[in-house]
Structure 1
Amino acid sequence: MSCQTGLVLALLWLMLLYLAPAKGESEIPPRAFLLLHPSWSTTFQGESVKLTCMAVPSSEKGPITWCHNNNVWKTKSEEIQIKDSGYYQCKTQRSHFSEPVHVEFSSDEVILQVSPHPIFEGDDVFLKCQRKSGQLNKATYYKDEKILQSNYSDTIKLFSVSRDSSKYSCTAFWKTMFSILWHKTSKPLKLQIQELFLPPVLMLSPRQPNEGDPVTLTCETRLPPQKSHVQLRFCFFKDGQRLESGCNSSQEIQIPTMRLEDSGSYWCQAEAVAYKIIKSSSRLKIDVLRIPVSDVNLETRPPGGQLIEGENLVLICSVAKGTGTITFSWHKDGTSVSKKTQQSLLAELLIPTVKMQDAGRYYCVADNGGPILSNRKEVTVRGLVSRPVLILRTPRHQAVVGDVVQLHCEASKGSPPIWYQFYHEDITLGNSSAPNGGGASFNFSLTEEGSGNYTCDANNGLGPQRSDRVSLKVIVPVSDIVLSLRAPETQAMVGDEVEIYCEALKGSPPILYQFYHEDMALGNSLAPMGGGASFKFIVTTEHAGNYSCEADNGLEPQRSEVMTFNITGPCRSRAGLISAGVTGGLLGVLGLPVAAILLRHFRTQRKLGLSAPGASSPSDWQEPSFSRISSTPPQEHLYDGHPAFIELQPIYNNVNPEGLNMVYSQIQSSQPRNGNSANSPRMCQKDKEPVVIYSELRTACCDDSSQQASNHQEGDTEDYENVPRESAVLDH
């Protein structure tokens, strides 16, 4: 390879430097450089100069290529000795050829030497006027034939030289041995000054920016290895204005986002402050391109667009391509929802706390010069069920065992389908569903355990909601009515206080108990908390007969079985019987006012001779006894305000029946009633046989023989005599 080829390669390297891509995209090999020793570029003929080829990195091993004028050779040595004038260059395997250095071996008497070598612009340079032999007395230095300096020193210093076409020379003065002053002028010499750094090249990455792209501007230049310590400062300009980044030691600046208005003419400037050397790059025209939006896509978060009321919905609108400022807009069912303008390929819209009305079909539009629509997304919003309302429906005002009750549960809000669960005291009764929303019902039949609190749950898969409690009291009809004797516990004498006890074994309180003697109401008693009730009376002869009780809690009243009260005792007068019976019954049952009226009635009867003959006194009575019989419950209810025995009629007195030890026997008949007996006159029932109750009184004071004789004399064909007695109620 000739030296001319080396020069071409050097020029090519300069071109590559200017055309090279930005830093990091490719790497341009550095240039080698030559060192001279001695460092004078001109020397006398016959002397020699050592050339050293240097490259970066200096540790590189391999053959060195040398070039002298048109001759090229290679050697392993990085140093050579030269004695011939000409242009010298060198290169290593990893470097370009160095800049050519002209070395002159002169045969002149006087030469001008320049040091050091190589010389870079801005360097201080020494000029030495040198005589081949002998000393100089004086020297004068010229620049372009103009005197620079004249002194008695053989060396002068030029400060901060620059690259120009000036030529330097010198005139040497010396004296001969005969004291003759001689002088001689050197050949003109042009300083070989190399650039401290090449004019910078503005590099752009990417080379063709699109709107919205980030761009890196690099002011590319290099210092020679010998001047690597020199500090450079870089500035960037656009259309005559310095960019906001200013000037600093960084070779590059970043423009985060290019816009259409960023198009223009750019250049950069490199400055070696210490050397006062400023170099500018060529201008670079940058045209920012706008890419239309394309492939607009809408996504939802959460994915699928299925939300629960109260959650947050995010609509993400993105484009695959598109530069610059893009306007994003969101639409629901054709109606605009929101709009954003930004320099981004993606935009998000937050819809917080979605409601049922936020459901629908959404799409977005991206526009940077032409609107493009996205795909459509269906957004569904499922509403949480609200707290349901439980309605309890009964067929009557009060719920009764056996009634069919309906529980209706309904949540006013909530996405269908809704599942309803029904509870009694937190125990599941059943369930029902509402596929299309609304409420649901559950029917069941009430039992005795049906009282308590009822609730329901509504659930559509998003969490259950429970209703308020609804209380229900179930009334149990009275049943299993039991009438029993409570006092006395052993035996009762005439005049004793007797207590009868009535109890409904089943039934909801409060229970009203009504006591009857031969279907005549004796009185009543209320059991507010349930249980039974008692009725007390003083035993008299009129208390013999059938007793029953009735229990009523507002539903159908129930009657107990009949309990029969049989009384036996000593002989006493009829008047005494009537007086004792009426007095005891009235005072024990009806009270003093009614008893007084009835006593007057019984005295009138006694005066008219209606008393039974042979009646004994109350002191002759023996204790009464009770026995149970089963009878059909009476058809009629209570007689309010009447004594128990006023319904007993007629009364027959039996005189000495069949010769027994009996003063008399008393027969009472209880007439059946239809309708309200209290308000209708008493009539004899000829078509129905009356219920006959016998009350026998034995005697201890009359002997058997006389009684039998008496009975025999009274009649031969009949066993006893029936003496009718008018009822007190008829007289009353």
Structure 2
Amino acid sequence: MLLWSLLIILAPASAQADGLTLLAPSSVFEGDRIVLSCQEEKKRKIKTMTYYKDETELLSLKKFSNFPIQRANFSDSGNYHCTATVGFWSWKETSQTVNIKVQELFRRPVLTASSFQPTEGGPLTLTCETRLPPQKSGVRLQFRFFRDSQALGSGWSRSAELHIPAMRTEDSGSYRCEAETLMSRIRKWSPQSQIHVQRIPISNVSLETQVPGGQVIEGGKLDLLCSVAEGTGDITFSWHREATGPSLGKKTQRSLTAELDILAVRESDAGGYYCTADNGHEPIQSKLLNILVRIPVSSPVLTITAPRAPAMVGDMVELHCEALRGSPPIVYQFYDEDVSLGNSSAPSGGGASFNLSLTAEYSGNYSCEADNGLGAQRSEVVTLSISEADGCRGDLVIARALGGLFGVLAFTGGVVLFYYWSHKISGKSSATNTPRGVSSPNPQASTQPSPLFAMEDLQPEYVNVGSVGVDVIYSEVMGFQQPEDSANNRKPSLENKDSQVIYSSVKK
């Protein structure tokens, strides 16, 4: 009877479920802090308290206490209840079961891109997309992006976007993003996405130079600029001469243009040039560019050609000026001292001539100048001497001939006059002057002069007055006349000179 009474008293105590209550939040998001509290409504003394999840004991305590979950995650979802022993008799009470479902704070992010096959050199925008529930709209998130496990940009950012201004071929790879709450540090990764950067093939390759007309001066600098209209990525440029083997140079760079410098151009560098460009598809060649190397003129050489040596007045001489090196056309200028005589052009190179008819004034120093637009060069001075001897000699020959002719005529006339005069004198003397002591059997005969006397008295006298430096001999012929009042003196007196004639003769 006593035992039965005890059973009746104890049965209600163990069956009471409403005396113990488990308190839990109505909604739980991952990362939230959860506090489970087991409350005894009748305020009886709790001796022990135990918390359970899905009938698994979580925590057993010998005093009243709450059960905290610091950061809830999906594994914390389940059915929770608690038990307690209370009262003097250590009655065991059990709470109701509470179901806790931990909700996703934000969705797993998804990486999106403005293009998953962007063009090399073009921009790309990556977006880490996720969404917070309305109840958690105030939660702050931060993001970061990765390519092949390498963080991009500056790391964590409050922006869900990453802008890449220019993609390169090496930027191809596997991309993903990560989102994280600032407070609870809930992190989530997006699935990986493949991005393949597309290259633009090379097109419209051209070669040009900075020198006008493709003409460069020997010894100067030649810049060969190779450029492409389109093409992305690292481009390999190479320069070539026509019909030659190895390239003149190569450059690989991320640019649409590249330049090759030839510092000192030689004459042998003239010819056709071209360049090629390649960014991994196939090499593209430019059109041929012809380079002309212009050579400044060298110091010219002046030669003077005359028909005889030495040159005479009236001769036609040729002045020839020639520069051994120099690109045509070349203009030659001729000078007498520093006075310009004229110019002559050599359109195809070589030398040029200038003809000159000599006068006495053209004796002097001559020079010439060559110019092809790259700098004029002057020759050395050549002296030209002009002789007048042959001209004077010709005049002297004429003078001698005329002098000889007039001399012969004068001599002949003088002899005739002298002969006539001498006969006139002898006639007079025969009539008036008969020598003493000489008888004349023939009076008529005695009137005739003696031939010996006549020849002795009338013989002409030549005096050579000497040479004047040329081959002409001047002579003086004098005639003597006897005075009519001197009958006894038969010799002519030298003091009475009747006439005087000067003759000239030409030596042969």
Query: Residue 150 and residue 226 in structure 1: after superposition, are their counterparts in 2 closer, same or farther (change >3 A)?
Result: farther
Given the alignment of the two structures, is residue 249 of structure 1 paired with residue 156 of structure 2, yes or no? Answer: yes
> Which residue number corresponds to residue 477 of structure 2?
692
- Paired with 2:101 and 2:471, the residues of 1 have a C-alpha distance of 159
> Which residue number corresponds to residue 258 of structure 1?
169
> Which residue number corresponds to residue 441 of structure 1?
353
- Paired with 2:81 and 2:44, the residues of 1 have a C-alpha distance of 12
CA deviation after TM superposition for structure 1 residue 669, in Å:
2.9
Query: Residue 475 and residue 305 in structure 1: after superposition, are their counterparts in 2 closer, same or farther (change >3 A)?
Result: closer
Deviations, residues 197-228 of structure 1 (Å, cap 9, x unaligned): 54343444542145x54675847256966443
Q: Is the 8 A contact 1:114 1:191 kept in 2?
A: no
> Which residue number corresponds to residue 236 of structure 1?
147
Deviations, residues 350-379 of structure 1 (Å, cap 9, x unaligned): 334333433333334445444544333333
Could you tell me which of 490, 499, 508 is aligned with 1:715? 490
Partner amino acid for 1:408?
H
> Which residue number corresponds to residue 72 of structure 2?
161
> Which residue number corresponds to residue 438 of structure 2?
none
Given the alignment of the two structures, is residue 279 of structure 1 paired with residue 188 of structure 2, yes or no? Answer: yes
| Secondary structure of 2:224 counterpart | strand
> Which residue number corresponds to residue 374 of structure 2?
463
Within a 5 Å distance, the mapping from 1:158-557 to structure 2 comes to 158-164=69-75, 166-167=77-78, 169-171=80-82, 183=93, 185-195=95-105, 198-204=107-113, 206-209=115-118, 212-213=120-121, 218=126, 220=128, 226-228=138-140, 234-237=145-148, 242-243=149-150, 248-249=155-156, 257-258=168-169, 265-268=174-177, 277-287=186-196, 289=198, 292-302=201-211, 304-322=213-231, 328-336=237-245, 337-338=247-248, 340=250, 342=252, 344=254, 345-367=256-278, 368-460=280-372, 462-475=373-386, 477=388
Deviations, residues 440-469 of structure 1 (Å, cap 9, x unaligned): 111223444444443322222x33322233
Query: Residue 560 and residue 454 in structure 1: after superposition, are their counterparts in 2 closer, same or farther (change >3 A)?
Result: closer
| Secondary structure of 1:385 counterpart | coil
| Secondary structure of 1:164 counterpart | helix
CA deviation after TM superposition for structure 1 residue 429, in Å:
1.4
Deviations, residues 473-499 of structure 1 (Å, cap 9, x unaligned): 53564xxxxxxxxxxxxxxxxxxxxxx
- Paired with 2:317 and 2:45, the residues of 1 have a C-alpha distance of 142
Query: Residue 424 and residue 199 in structure 1: after superposition, are their counterparts in 2 closer, same or farther (change >3 A)?
Result: farther
* CA RMSD, 1 decimal: 5.3
CA deviation after TM superposition for structure 1 residue 395, in Å:
4.0
Q: Is the 8 A contact 1:121 1:162 kept in 2?
A: yes
- Paired with 1:120 and 1:398, the residues of 2 have a C-alpha distance of 125
Q: Is the 8 A contact 1:670 1:692 kept in 2?
A: no
- Paired with 1:136 and 1:406, the residues of 2 have a C-alpha distance of 146
Partner amino acid for 1:299?
E
> Which residue number corresponds to residue 669 of structure 1?
463
Query: Residue 334 and residue 174 in structure 1: after superposition, are their counterparts in 2 closer, same or farther (change >3 A)?
Result: same
- Paired with 2:487 and 2:380, the residues of 1 have a C-alpha distance of 83
Structure number with greater CO (CA < 8 Å, separation at least 6) is 2
Partner amino acid for 2:128?
E
Q: Is the 8 A contact 1:269 1:280 kept in 2?
A: yes
Q: Is the 8 A contact 2:177 2:189 kept in 1?
A: yes
Query: Residue 426 and residue 719 in structure 1: after superposition, are their counterparts in 2 closer, same or farther (change >3 A)?
Result: closer
- Paired with 1:244 and 1:182, the residues of 2 have a C-alpha distance of 57
Q: Is the 8 A contact 1:312 1:350 kept in 2?
A: yes
Could you tell me which of 123, 134, 146 is aligned with 2:56? 146
CA deviation after TM superposition for structure 1 residue 693, in Å:
6.8
| Secondary structure of 1:380 counterpart | strand
Aligned identity (percent) is 38
Deviations, residues 318-341 of structure 1 (Å, cap 9, x unaligned): 444455665544444443443636
Partner amino acid for 2:223?
V
Q: Is the 8 A contact 1:214 1:258 kept in 2?
A: no
Partner amino acid for 1:443?
N
Q: Is the 8 A contact 1:264 1:285 kept in 2?
A: yes
Deviations, residues 178-210 of structure 1 (Å, cap 9, x unaligned): 999795624413254443x54343444542145
List alignment gaps of at least 5 residues for structure 2.
1-17, 405-459, 498-508
Q: Is the 8 A contact 2:24 2:98 kept in 1?
A: no
Q: Is the 8 A contact 1:137 1:175 kept in 2?
A: yes
Partner amino acid for 2:250?
K
CA deviation after TM superposition for structure 1 residue 308, in Å:
3.4
| Secondary structure of 2:24 counterpart | strand
- Paired with 2:142 and 2:297, the residues of 1 have a C-alpha distance of 75
Q: TM-score, normalised by structure 1?
A: 0.45
- Paired with 1:244 and 1:455, the residues of 2 have a C-alpha distance of 80
Deviations, residues 505-532 of structure 1 (Å, cap 9, x unaligned): xxxxxxxxxxxxxxxxxxxxxxxxxxxx
| Secondary structure of 1:713 counterpart | coil
List alignment gaps of at least 5 residues for structure 1.
1-106, 478-553, 562-630, 637-665, 683-688, 696-706, 723-732
CA deviation after TM superposition for structure 1 residue 431, in Å:
0.5
| 334-343 or 277-286: bigger deviation | 334-343
Partner amino acid for 1:312?
K
- Paired with 1:711 and 1:232, the residues of 2 have a C-alpha distance of 168
Query: Residue 253 and residue 146 in structure 1: after superposition, are their counterparts in 2 closer, same or farther (change >3 A)?
Result: farther
- Paired with 2:155 and 2:34, the residues of 1 have a C-alpha distance of 30
Q: Is the 8 A contact 1:388 1:465 kept in 2?
A: no
Deviations, residues 672-711 of structure 1 (Å, cap 9, x unaligned): 99xx989xxx9xxxxxx9533799xxxxxxxxxxx99995
- Paired with 2:91 and 2:174, the residues of 1 have a C-alpha distance of 64
Query: Residue 454 and residue 144 in structure 1: after superposition, are their counterparts in 2 closer, same or farther (change >3 A)?
Result: farther
CA deviation after TM superposition for structure 1 residue 422, in Å:
1.7
- Paired with 1:709 and 1:304, the residues of 2 have a C-alpha distance of 110
- Paired with 1:720 and 1:302, the residues of 2 have a C-alpha distance of 102
- Paired with 1:136 and 1:420, the residues of 2 have a C-alpha distance of 132
Q: Is the 8 A contact 2:52 2:81 kept in 1?
A: yes
Deviations, residues 70-102 of structure 1 (Å, cap 9, x unaligned): xxxxxxxxxxxxxxxxxxxxxxxxxxxxxxxxx
Q: Is the 8 A contact 1:298 1:375 kept in 2?
A: yes
Deviations, residues 243-274 of structure 1 (Å, cap 9, x unaligned): 49799436759685315xx7655445566798
Q: Is the 8 A contact 1:136 1:172 kept in 2?
A: no
- Paired with 1:451 and 1:108, the residues of 2 have a C-alpha distance of 148
Q: Is the 8 A contact 1:143 1:168 kept in 2?
A: yes
- Paired with 2:207 and 2:44, the residues of 1 have a C-alpha distance of 92
| Secondary structure of 1:714 counterpart | coil
